[in-house]
Every structure is written in structure tokens, then in C-alpha cells.
Amino acid sequence: MTSRVALRWVASAAVLAAAVAFPFWASRAEPYYLQIAINVVIFAVLALSWDLLARTGQLSLAHAAFYGLGAYTSALLTLRSGLPVPAGILLGGLLAVVVAGGLGILTLRLRGIYFAIATLAFSETLRVTTNQLRFTGAATGLVVPPLLGGGRVAQYLVILGILLLVIAISAFVNRSRWRYAVTAVRANDEVAATMGVNVVQVKVAAFMVSAFFAGITGAYYGHVFLFISPIEVYSLAVSVGALVAPIFGGLYTTAGPVIGAAVLRVGEEILRTTIRSGYLIIYGLILAVVILYMPRGLAGVWDALWRRRA
Amino acid sequence: MSLLRLQKLTKTFGGLVAVADLELAVEEGEILAMIGPNGAGKSTTFNLISGLLAPDEGTIVFDGRDVTGLPPNVRAHLGIGRTFQVMQPFHDMTVRENVMVGELFGHSVPKTLRAAQRDAEEICRLVGLEHLMGRDVLGLGVADLKRLEIARALATHPRLLLLDEVMAGLTPTEAQQAIAVIRAIRDRGVTVLLIDHVMSSVRDLAERVAVLNFGRKIAEGTFEQVARDPAVIEAYLGVEGGTAH
Amino acid sequence: MVIFGVLRSGLYSLAAVGLALSVGVIGIVNFAHGEFLMLGAFLGYWLFASYGVDPLLAIPAGAVGIFALGAAAYRSAIRRVLRAPELNQMLLTFGLSIFFQNLAIILWSGDPRVATVSYKAAAVSVGPLVVGLPQLVVFVLAMTLTLALYAVLGRTRIGKAMRAVAQNRLGASLVGIEVDRVYLLAFGVSTALAGMAGLMITLQLSVSPFMGLLYTLKAFAIIVIAGLGNINGVIYASLVLGLSEAFVEFYVPGGGGWAEGVFFLLILLVLILRPRGLFR
């Protein structure tokens, strides 16, 4: 085992241990930090699930759509049908999966920017519709029942568990034959098809898995912060964040989106105290700077440092 | 029974007829060349055979089986492989990994990563890419990219290999190497259908030649027969017998 | 209702034709297109609120200013990603869009502003119908500018250079056209057109930092309907959008809110059913 791989295992174990122990400390010492931590992990799940789809070359601006779908499905089911919250969250994710399956098939032939715009159009249509309908509470939003009685420590562990699940899936994809499939599809899906890759299956499956995690995370968000509205959960900021974090941290890797999300969200929290609104400007700047000067993100910088060491 | 049979194959784009009522048979174990002036419909035919395009009319029968409606990946499993004229290797991957995609997904029975790697390396050796296996595809020269194209197509262990303008841009020495590789591939039991404009290579390599013009087959036979055919000469606007490029 | 839609489509043409120019000539879909429109609108508002300058009079100055901004953006950032994968281009302009939008929020807060010019409510009779004077003026102006662009593209040397580059970049450079200079001009003109459209909007509607994305998407809907790269089809495509929106506003109950979704639906429908556009 090379020293680099060993380092990665040790670091991962340490981080995992810290992450699990964290809520118990924070709930007694600094409860505000626990809230931020929950936000960070939510963001990490969104970022990594977006990256999973991006690996097939589909750059989605609809992540907010599935986030919102999950949030509203779960909120409405638990509010109006008395369904228990965990079931609501799961169903929110499942609805997102079904919708993603449909949208994925519809957009199969769209490449690059067309795909992005089509997904953006879809997401914004959902926002506008939800904003109009009385059934979904229109612009005033919905008050949502709490998860696990509102206990922050337990809630944190739930989202951490979800993150670990996405991480496992991401690592599996990157280490198995599926890495070859998604990379080939991303590079040139027609050629990949003539080499035997079932492109339709790969693309739609990626869309559905990605949407599932966006959906359950959206549902989770509602049950933790107890209120959702169209402008919040269907917000472009969700989709933007989900794509800037992986680009910043390193696309198509497992650690990149997670670390990128953590750095950006913590930074955002710090900025929020100085710039009240419009702190999203940093995301715009980061995106531009990374594209121009660091195309492989933090992961690229990390790689370069290792190579210089050798 | 022919390995591949195209019957009444027709494809139009808007008002343009690319392939019209094409009839062609490829026998198992032969090397057949499709030639014809630019725009004759050769690339479109390849896209139809490999499944990237659906014909407006007609059928494609492979190994006795009607594959006309099947998607490209299923045709790959059945044994149709192809290279592409505009070379687009999979970026973010090494040469070896590019070939492994075919090994991993080109067969009905999935292979393990280790077996796929081993078989991919063997194919790299066959086409002469052994020394470049671990290299990222970025920056490869034209000849090596062509080898990679062929290697990728071979990775699915095809019974019919479609070669799309492999000779273009090669030096005479490289062309000779390519001819040797293609013959070696055929000797392993692969039938070859190729498109090319480099007549000297076509003459050396092809056992039979079919000439297309305006989407139809206008002549078929050995290279010499076809070269003397008045319809062929007329199609090429009076170019005698095929000049070497 | 038809008049309403037609008048509005004039403005839409102007807003979209710049994007069509950038896509057709340079090959880049500028996600930040609407932000240049928004900045033009804010410029108009500022000039009006501080100096009482009618936004329409500010158009020449605004055009120059936004052109300069666009040219600067091209020089410093856009130019670098032209050879990069499309993903990078999209993300860069997307980043610029987020940057400008939030810059506006920081500088001017998220609240919408309205510039009330003296003749805002004035109306004019056109045949049997009464139309708002500002709307009519804007329509005439916007259509004039759009047609002027077509004339420039068709008749002038620089216009022909742009069309040459649009068709064949390599060929154009081989005959001596300085492609980079053409790109710079095209991009600057594209943003200037957006800025001018923004100034015209100041006249009629409220101005807010969030309007940029809305118009980027509307412009995109129009160029998709026209067919990407098809600059000539923009007028017809704008009519499609303008009339569809008017239709929804008038005939769908609670129409105002739903009309916002019309262009989304059009984008989805066209991209999925006829990706080449309707007016090729």
C-alpha cells in the first residue's frame, strides 16, 4: 500500500470518528455549530449526488427540482395524511426517482448546454407551479412536522448516515466496472454504445440515483427546519451550490464534492455575518476563477502537490 | 448464408437521400471494401449497420438475424464492431482503459476487471500499442489514435469489423503496418468491411470491392473488375482505374 | 390580446437577438446575457432617479457603457474558454451571471425599483384599440434596432466578417479576418443590445437584480425556437413567445402567474420535440 493510499484511509477514519462524535460535543457546548454541521452535511449530500450524475456527462440544473419535490411530497403526506415522518421522507425520495426516470428518458438526446437549459426550465416550471397552487400552500409555504421529535443530535446522525450511503455508492462506482461505463458515456455516448455500453440504462439510472438523494435530502430539510416554501427549496441557489461544490473540490471524485461542500458552506456561514444577502456572489467568483485557472478544482491542486513531492 | 446482408436499405435526411435501396452482402471471412465519391452514402451505411441511425426502409440481417430495430449496444454483443472516422478516444482514461470499456461491456457475459484488463492488453499488443498502454490518450499521434480505434473495436470481439477510413492520414510505412494488422485480424476469424479513399491500400487489401454512388451500389467485384467498370469511372469523373494517394 | 403580445415581442426580439449573435458568431451560449440586460436597466434607473434622464434618451450612453463592460468580460474571461470544452464555457458564463446578479443585490439590494416617467400611463389610439404609449415607443425602437442589426449583418463589411466567422472560423481567418477582433465586437454588440433592451424595460416595468435570469431564459427560449445560430428567425420566435404569453395572461384564470411558466414550457417542448428549432 502506497503512503498516499494509507494516508487516505487514516484520514477518512479520523474524519469519520470526528463526524460521529461531533454532535454529542456540540449539543452541549455550541448548539449553533450543530445546526451548521447539519447544513454542511446536507450540502455535501447534494454535491456528491449531483456529481454522480455529472459523471455521465449530464450537467443538471434540476437538482433543486428534486430537492423541492422531495420536500413538498413529504411535507404534504405527513401533514395531510398523518403519515409518519420517516415514511414521508422515503416517499419523497421515491417520487423524485420516478420523475427523474421520466425526465431522463425525455432528455436522453440532449447534450451539454441543451440538457442544462432543459433541466433548468423543468426546475423553474416546478417552482412557478408550486408557487401558484393553493394545494401546495402557494407562496406562503408549508409548516412541516419535525423528524424524531426535533432532537438535533439524532437528526444529525440521520443525515450523516445518508451521506455515508452516498459516499459508499460513489466509491463503488469509481472502483468498479461502472467507472468505465460512466466515463465512456461522458466522453462520447455514441461510441460507448457501439462498444456495448447500455447508454440509456447508465444515463437514466444515474439520473434516478442522483434524484433520490436530492429528494430525501429535500424532505429531510423540511422536517428539520420545519418550514418550506417554493423560493427556498426550488431555489436556483440549491442547484448552483450543488454544482459549484464538486467543481471547486474536484469533479468525478468522491472526496472532492464532499470537501468542496464543507469548505464552501462553512465559508458561506462566515460570510453571511458580513454580507447579509448576495453572499452567493462568492460562488460566482469561485466558479469563474476555478474554470479559468484551476479546472480540476481542489483535487487537481492536491494531485499536483503530490506529484511535486515525488 | 452471408454474414451481413443489407436489403433495400434507405435513409433520407430532410430532402437529401443518403442511402437508396442499397443491397449488399458480406461473406464470412472476407475483406470487402466500400468505395465511392464523397457523399456516396458510405458513412451513413456504417451508421445504419452499427445502429446509430435507423433506416427509413429496408432491413439489416446479421448472421441470419434481423437486427434492424436493435440498439447499438445489442448489436455490439451480437458481434458488430466499428471504428470511427473522426477519432474520439475516451478522455480522462488511459489507452488500456479505453480498450477495457469494450472488454467489459462488449460481451453478453460480463468479465471481471482483471480478465478485461488482461484481454485488453493482449489486443493492444496485437495492434502495436503495447508501449503506450498506460498513457493518457491526450496527445497521441494520428497513427496511434488509429490503432486505438481498431483496438477499441476489437475489444468487443466482433465477428464483423467495420473500418471507417483507417488509411487516411497515414504515411506509406504506416499504411503497410495497418494492412498487416488488418490481415492479422481477418486471419483470427473476423470479417472486415472497410470504407476508404486510399486506393492503393484498397487494392492491396480488399478481396472484393463494392462501389457506391448517390446511395446506391453501382458496381461490385474484384478491384480490377470495378476499376474498369464504365459506371465507376464516370462516377469518379474520369479518374482512371484509381490513383494512389 | 394580440396587440399586447406583438408589442411585447418587439422587446423580446431585442433582448434575444444579442444572444443569438453570440451563439451564432462566437459559438458560446452566454448564461450571463440577462445580467447585462439587468445592468443596463439599473443604469437607466440610476440616471433617471439621480438626474431625471429619460431612459430612452440614455440608450446611446447605456449601449456604449454596456458594450465596454461586455468587451472587458470577453477580454478577461470569455476568450480563454473558447477552446475549452463546452462544459467550461457554460460554467464560466454561469459563474459570471451569479456574480453580477449578486453584485447587484449587494450594491442595490434585492428590492425592485420603478422609474416613473411622466408619460408612463399615457395611451394612444391605434385604430380601434388603445395601447400604452411607452409600450408602443419601445416596440418601435426595439424593432428598429433589431432590424438595424440585420442590416449591419447583411450589408456592412464587419457584418459580413461576422457571418463569415460564424460559418467557418478557420476559413475566415485564412482569408485575413481577425477572428479575435470579430469575436470581441460581436460579444460587445451582443451585450450592448441586451443593455439597450434593459433600458427600455426600465421605462415600463420594475427593475430588480433578479430580472437577469428571467430574460436570459426568455432569450434562450426564443433562440431555441428559432433554431440555435439562426439570427434571422429571432423575430418570428419572439412573436411566438410574446403571443403565447399574452394568450395565457388573458385566457387562463389567474393568468399573470402562469404566464411566467410559458417560456419554460416552450423550451422543454421545443428541445424535446424539435431540437433544431421551428424556423430553420
- CA atoms within 13 A of residue A182's CA, in its CB half-sphere: 24
Q: What's the pLDDT score for residue C254?
A: 65
* CATH code, domain carrying B212: 3.40.50.300
Listed by start position, the domains of chain C span 2-273
For residue A8, what pLDDT band results from cuts at 50, 70 and 90?
Answer: confident
CB-CB neighbors (< 8 A) of A177 in chain B: 104-105, 110, 113, 116
C-alpha C93/C-alpha A284 separation (Å) is: 9
Per-residue pLDDT 10s for chain B (245 aa) are: 889 999 999 999 877 888 999 999 999 999 999 998 887 789 899 999 999 999 999 999 999 999 998 999 999 999 999 999 888 889 889 999 999 999 999 988 888 999 999 999 999 998 889 999 988 888 888 889 999 999 999 999 999 999 999 998 889 999 999 999 999 999 999 999 999 988 889 999 999 999 998 888 889 999 999 888 888 888 876 555 444 44
Q: What's the pLDDT score for residue A299?
A: 75
Counting one residue from chain A and one from chain C, the pairs whose CB atoms sit within 8 A come to 117
Question: For residues C53 and A290, which has the higher predicted lDDT (pLDDT)?
Answer: A290
Question: CB within 8 A of C131, min separation 6: which ones?
Answer: C3, C7, C123, C124
Q: What's the pLDDT score for residue B245?
A: 43
| Residue B36 lies inside a defined structural domain of this protein | yes
Model confidence pLDDT, tens digit, residues C30-50: 889 999 999 998 888 888 888
C-alpha C101/C-alpha B144 separation (Å) is: 48
Model confidence pLDDT, tens digit, residues C9-22: 888 888 899 999 88
Domain interval for residue B108: 4-235
Residue A302 has pLDDT above 80, yes or no: no
Interval A267-283 mean pLDDT: 77
End-to-end CA distance of chain A: 16
Burial zone of A144 (CB within 10 Å; 0-12 exposed, 13-18 middle, 19+ buried): buried
| Residue B245 lies inside a defined structural domain of this protein | no
Residue C87 has pLDDT above 80, yes or no: no
The complex's ipTM works out to 0.88
Cell of B3: 454474414
C-alpha A8/C-alpha A24 separation (Å) is: 25
Model confidence pLDDT, tens digit, residues C161-187: 888 887 777 777 777 778 888 889 899
Model confidence pLDDT, tens digit, residues C122-169: 666 666 666 777 777 788 888 888 888 888 888 888 888 888 887 777
Cell of A230: 417554493
C99: nearest CB among A107, A125, A285:
A285
CB atoms within 10 A of CB B142: 13
- pTM of this structure: 0.87
The shortest C-alpha distance from C191 to chain A (Å) reads 18
| Residue B8 lies inside a defined structural domain of this protein | yes
Which of A158-162, B172-176, C77-81 has the lowest average pLDDT?
C77-81
Question: Mean of the per-residue pLDDT values for chain C?
Answer: 82
| Residue B121 lies inside a defined structural domain of this protein | yes
The shortest C-alpha distance from A192 to chain B (Å) reads 8
The shortest C-alpha distance from C66 to chain A (Å) reads 20
Q: What's the pLDDT score for residue A134?
A: 79
Question: For residues A87 and B87, which has the higher predicted lDDT (pLDDT)?
Answer: A87
Whether C268 and A292 lie within 8 Å, measured CB to CB? no
Q: What's the pLDDT score for residue C181?
A: 86
| Nearest residue of chain A to residue B109 (CA atoms) | A196
C-alpha A72/C-alpha A76 separation (Å) is: 6
The shortest C-alpha distance from C47 to chain A (Å) reads 24
Q: How far is CA A8 from CA A161, A170, A308, in A?
A: 20, 16, 18
Whether A195 and B113 lie within 8 Å, measured CB to CB? no
Interval A259-270 mean pLDDT: 89
CATH 1.10.3470 for domain C2-273, yes or no, is: yes
Which of A142-151, B97-106, C124-133, C226-235 has the lowest average pLDDT?
C124-133
Any CB–CB contact under 8 A between C252 and chain A? no
Q: What's the pLDDT score for residue A139?
A: 79
Q: What's the number of domains chain B is made of?
A: 1
Question: For residues A296 and C215, which has the higher predicted lDDT (pLDDT)?
Answer: C215
Q: What's the pLDDT score for residue A276?
A: 66
| Nearest residue of chain A to residue C228 (CA atoms) | A114
Whether C271 and A281 lie within 8 Å, measured CB to CB? no
C-alpha A3/C-alpha A300 separation (Å) is: 19
Report chain A residues touching chain B, CB-CB < 8 A. Answer: 176-177, 180-181, 183-184, 186-188, 190-200, 252
Residue C212 has pLDDT above 80, yes or no: yes
- List the Cα angle C7/C8/C10 in 5-degree steps: 75
* 8-state DSSP, A254: S
Residue C51 has pLDDT above 90, yes or no: no
B71: nearest CB among A187, A188, A193:
A193
Residue A55 has pLDDT above 90, yes or no: yes
Question: CB within 8 A of B217, min separation 6: which ones?
Answer: B22, B23, B24, B210, B211
Question: For residues B46 and C273, which has the higher predicted lDDT (pLDDT)?
Answer: B46
Question: For residues B155 and A128, which has the higher predicted lDDT (pLDDT)?
Answer: B155
Residue C53 has pLDDT above 80, yes or no: no
| Contact status, residue C200 vs residue C55, Cβ threshold 8 Å | yes
